[in-house]
Structure 1
């Protein structure tokens, strides 16, 4: 697709005056190309990591060169966690989200 500034525009969500080099908490969601389940499967509401998923969990800072899959989704969504309430809300989402996978519209095994 050719770049078209009328429809392809990104705005920064960076907070003015915020020091991004300071310590902080980061919630990162990895959504792969075509929403392929590269890191494992969800069974009975629990995430079962495969070898790639275990590697990501244990070595998330640096991906080895041999892992040559496309990981970044275009037009990703990012959010700054600003307080304890948001942190707890997002933590609960991470913990509870696998339980919803069986009915998720992006689950390739969901007949809907």
Structure 2
């Protein structure tokens, strides 16, 4: 049974205990829309056709390295109700982790460039702009991540992400 905090049930964290999510690593991330609502477009003949909000989701994902210079992006796809992507945190010792500048996202400085901060700022940028198109746009409050630990896993996950649109009808995130 989940723990309670202030008399409300809490869902236990899915994060790996004792792992520093600001550490150099490759992370497979899945972020779903609230209620798995289809805000991002449709799959037509196995290809994703982005809606205006889907184009925002793609645009702001591609801009992540501009705001977090120690981040490299790899495979990525926008699906009708979620995004999948690989974020690689690759910090050099000379980058000050506690002073990451993100002015375009409306935040002057963020303490720590952890995966959680990166995803939070991505979701924030998409939400602010998506609500100009559809005021009901929202993300699920959490996201799923998986630390990629070897080349074989990295390759398998890249293939999964890139083939996701053609496998949409078998996708567990699919809703009608």
Higher RCO structure (Cα 8 Å, ≥6 apart): 2
2:144 paired with 1:77 = yes
Q: Is the 8 A contact 2:40 2:54 kept in 1?
A: yes
2:52 paired with 1:51 = yes
* Cα RMSD (Å): 2.6
CA–CA separation in structure 2 for the residues paired with 1:22 and 1:85: 20
CA–CA separation in structure 2 for the residues paired with 1:39 and 1:51: 7
Q: Is the 8 A contact 2:29 2:144 kept in 1?
A: no
Change in 2 beyond 3 A, CA 1:57/1:39: same
CA–CA separation in structure 2 for the residues paired with 1:10 and 1:39: 29
TM-score by length of 1: 0.70
1:35-54: CA deviation from partner (whole Å, max 9, x where unpaired)? 11111111111111122112
Secondary structure of the structure 1 residue equivalent to 2:167: helix
TM-score by length of 2: 0.48
1:43-81: CA deviation from partner (whole Å, max 9, x where unpaired)? 11111112211221121244152323211255x432111
CA–CA separation in structure 1 for the residues paired with 2:52 and 2:38: 12
Q: Is the 8 A contact 1:81 1:87 kept in 2?
A: yes
Give the number of the structure whose residues are more often strand, by fraction: 2
Partner of 1:36: 37
Runs of 4+ in 1 over 6 A off after TM superposition: none
